[in-house]
Each structure stands twice: as C-alpha cells, then as structure tokens.
Amino acid sequence: LGTFAADYETFLRQHYDNPKSNVGNRYCNTMMVRRGMTRPKCKEVNTFIHDTKNEINAVCGNKGEPFGNGLRRSLKQFQVTTCTMKGTSTRPPCDYRGNSSPRYIVIACENGLPVHFDEGQ
C-alpha cells in the first residue's frame, strides 16, 4: 500500500460509517472500540460520516471548495455523528457522548482522496 492509500484506509476506518451502524444506544462507546480508537489511549474527539464513499471523496473534487490552509470544505451538509469523551482522562475504558447532526465537513485530501478529518461546522 502506498502512503496515500494507507492514509485513506485509516480515514475510512476512523471516519466512515454508512449506513450508520445499528449498535443500540451506545453508538459512540461501541464504535470507538470497534474502530480501534480506544487503545492505547482514548481518542478525545472523532467524527463518523454517514454517507457514501463517493460523496465523501467528491469533497476533494467538485463537491468541495478550498478552505483555509490546504483544506477542503464540503458544499453540502453531511449527516455525521461526533463522539466526544465525557471526561478529561484519556485512560481506557473510554466513555463518550455522541452528537448527531447535519454538518459541513472540512477535510484534507491527498491525490484526490481524504486523509484527515479537520472539523465539522
């Protein structure tokens, strides 16, 4: 795997969940474990995007616009769930609250593929 492809795979693991997984009322706690973001320490904030890879990838192209320092902002709002640690300790077990809403997404792209999630707005 080239480095861009590896970064894209990591982006998908961390930020792509479509359709939104049916894991009951503990979506964030379950998904953060399942996607490998709770070890060795709890990732503090992480956003899952509930849309197709095509729609997300297109933000790197004609469905996004330049934003800030080399980033891309989506032209449409995406349905996302942002998981935020409830406390301040990053020591597992990790406990999250989830916030689901439509947001513009801001990402970094390499070779036309998303490699980093910056923020939702």
- The residues of the shown chain that bind ligand T3P, judged by CB under 6 A, are 14, 45-47, 82, 116-117, 119-120
Q: Tell me the closest approach of the beta carbon of residue 58 to ligand T3P, in angstroms.
A: 18
Q: Which of 7, 15, 31, 64 is catalytic?
A: 15
* Amino acid sitting at position 71: L
- Give whichever of 63 and 99 is closer to ligand T3P, judged by the CB atom: 99
Angstrom CA distances, 114 to 27, 60, 98, stand at: 24, 7, 23
Separation between Cα atoms, residue 5 and residue 11, nearest integer Å? 10
Q: Tell me the closest approach of the beta carbon of residue 95 to ligand T3P, in angstroms.
A: 17
Q: Which of 4, 71, 116, 119 is catalytic?
A: 116
Q: Which residues contact 93 (CB under 8 A, 6 or more apart)?
A: 38
15 is catalytic: yes
Q: What is the DSSP string of 80-102?
A: EEEEEESSS--SSSP-EEEEEEE
- Give whichever of 47 and 57 is closer to ligand T3P, judged by the CB atom: 47
- Give whichever of 57 and 82 is closer to ligand T3P, judged by the CB atom: 82
What amino acid positions are annotated as catalytic residues?
Answer: 15, 116
